[in-house]
Structure 1
Amino acid sequence: MELKKKLDNFTKVPINRRRKAFKWLAKQDEEVVLMAFEKQKEYLFKIGNKNEENKSILYLSALYLAADSLYSLYYSQASKNRDMNIHAVQGVTRMQAQKFKKHVQADKYDRLLNLKNKILVLKDEENLSFRQISEFLMTYHRLKVSHSYVATFYNSNLKEKK
């Protein structure tokens, strides 16, 4: 009970919001978690001047504050009151871009790996261009990839083949 009061005093954030932000942080990728730990350092210096014999409570409070700030930054675009400075907006867009980019690239790359032999045959034996291979993948496999992505995939697999 005393721990809860100390955390409430240091963070000034309700327990429900702390839990929600911490659960959100646990579901994020490593780059967002790393951003949270970097922000934890900032918050630790802000609340570090308080007299507390147990430094672990200060570290936990700083982590809660960092998770809450990233959580509020991430979801503030959906709110009507967008009271953020340019650095906060850049942080949000960077988080969203990293998350989306990795997800899309992983899906496309995995599907291309499944079709690797077909792509190599189309290029080497049937002498199709990368644009034609891209169109082939779209029509027969419903996989929309650019010709340049197919070219990089082909060249990387050609190096592995040798």
Structure 2
Amino acid sequence: MRVSARNSICVYLNLGFLCSLYHELEVSSFRVRDELRKETLQLAKENLEKEQRILELRNQCTIIRTSELAAAQDRLSDLERQKDEIMRSYSPAALLDKLQASMAKLDEESEELHQKFLEKDIDLATFVQKYKKIRTAYHKQALLHLAGKTSLH
């Protein structure tokens, strides 16, 4: 019986040791779980405290984003209007109109020069030189105008 009593004591001691070890693990586990719960609660409180600031910053970002977007869109609209004006002024029809206006101005200049000559305000040599220059420019523009009109139709 001694062997059996000794075995019983060993089993009892081993069980006691295991029970003690299990109890320590359980207590340690509760302690760790409790610490984790406390840390989680603390982090949650800190996050809740930051929530208002986050909302304020988000609103500021939205305001900045929309105001900058609006300004950029306004600038884009202005630039598109400028581009359209420039494109209109260089359209074939607009260029032909400008050419015709220039021709009319040259024609008027040549008529004024002719009138000065008739009134003897300028001498013949000066008249011929200036008149030839003006009429040559006029006819060059007239040819360009005719070529432009022909190519458009």
Normalising by structure 1, report the TM-score.
Answer: 0.22
Structure label with greater radius of gyration: 2
TM-score (norm. length: structure 2): 0.23
Higher helix share: 2
Higher relative contact order (CA 8 A, sep 6+): 2
